[in-house]
Structure 1
Amino acid sequence: MFSFKEYSREIFVTIILVLVLIVLRVLIANLIRRFAATSHLFENRTNLVIKYINILMNILITTSLIVVWGVETQDIFITISSIATVIGVAMFAQWSILSNVTSGMILFFSFPFRIGDTIKIHDKDFPIEAEIEDINTFHVSLKTKEGEKIIFPNNLLLQKGISIIPAKYEEREFFD
């Protein structure tokens, strides 16, 4: 039979860890947003960084809870290796998904273009000239001059030649 007295320490530590997670998520998100505002970073990139940090914190808290509740180390390694094997096989079978995620990370960290840039994708069969609306993990959202919305996979952006078209400024005559 389950007894609260028997597991009181584990329950107390679990509650504390969950509260710490909530407080850390709020504090870190606020710090990152402040830094992004002072550095003039795009909101989409800021939200992506916050999302990745939240995932990392969730993994750390989950690992801590596993240790607190006394799960055997051997059981943890067996579970992790089983999950890694399944994910590895699934990703190998779905290489395009892995390719898009990897390409999304490369685009995120290398900054070849930014949201709001107009790009031209040099594709022999389907050339595209459009403005970048959003950069996601799997794809980039583009909008043509005609208003057509195009979702373009990240891995193709790295495979195709791309020109960044500079913003056009109106030429005006200046008078003294």
Structure 2
Amino acid sequence: MIDFLTRTEVIFTIVILILTIGIHRFVTWSAAKLSKDLNRSKLRRQYINRYVGYLLWTLSTITIIFVWGISKDGFWTALASTFAVIGVALFANWSILSNLTSSFILYFAFPFKIGDRIRIHDKDLPVTAVIEDIKGFYTVLKTNDGETITYPNNLLMQKGVSILGSKKESVFDINHEDADPTAR
């Protein structure tokens, strides 16, 4: 009986590992195709592959733990305690989760990409720069003066951003006080 149970658990473990590898390869292939279609950089695709890989392998590990018959009550207690500590840490510094989520949104849905010249409309600190890289937590910008700025991804989602292309300034930068008030 013990040999049968061990053999079944080994077979289930192998099946779970094969499924995880297959799903991870499918996601990698899909991200490559989507990156090509959306004209995204190879580095951004690697970020997506890494984060999805972390998620898939974590779920796979949890499933294998259940297959091998670890006490579910003890497991759930340990998992809940771990998530409680992580939750407190994330709540204390919510911007980490916000920036990570924003990087996924920027990857899949936002109109600007690496190499675009943009203007960030922030009344306290307006920025005009070229996007050098979009990382997991921040975007690297290079100004005309050669200054490198790391700008949090969640702020890129909250602020107005103009894609300038070859223009020197955004329509929002034009001084409207000099304009004819009847033309508005």
TM-score, normalised relative to structure 2:
0.71
Alignment length, in residue pairs?
165
Q: Which residue of 2 aligns with 1:152?
A: 151
Cα shift at 1:103 = 3.0
**What whole-Å deviation, never above 9, does each CA across 1:119-153 have from its counterpart, x for those lacking one?**
11233443221011111221111111222211111
Q: Percent identity of the aligned residues? A: 41
Q: Which residue of 1 aligns with 2:142?
A: 143
Distance in 1, matches of 2:123 and 2:18, equals 55
Write out aligned runs for 1:6-155 (5 A): 7=6, 9-11=8-10, 13-15=12-14, 17-18=16-17, 20-22=19-21, 24-26=23-25, 28-37=27-36, 39-42=37-40, 43-155=42-154
Q: Label 1:107 to 1:35 Cα distance change in 2 as closer, same or farther (>3 A).
A: closer
**What whole-Å deviation, never above 9, does each CA across 1:65-124 have from its counterpart, x for those lacking one?**
111210122223212211221111111111232332233334334314222211112334
Say if 2:140 and 2:150, in contact at 8 Å, map to a contact too: yes
Distance in 2, matches of 1:157 and 1:75, equals 42
Letter in 2 for 1:54: G
Q: Which residue of 2 aligns with 1:162?
A: 161
Stretches of structure 1 that go unaligned for 5 or more consecutive residues are 169-176
Q: Label 1:82 to 1:117 Cα distance change in 2 as closer, same or farther (>3 A).
A: same
Letter in 2 for 1:113: F
**What whole-Å deviation, never above 9, does each CA across 1:11-49 have from its counterpart, x for those lacking one?**
554455445544553454245424543x24313443233
Q: Label 1:16 to 1:44 Cα distance change in 2 as closer, same or farther (>3 A).
A: same
Q: Label 1:40 to 1:51 Cα distance change in 2 as closer, same or farther (>3 A).
A: same
Stretches of structure 2 that go unaligned for 5 or more consecutive residues are 168-184
Distance in 2, matches of 1:162 and 1:27, equals 34
CA RMSD, aligned part only? 2.9
Letter in 2 for 1:146: D
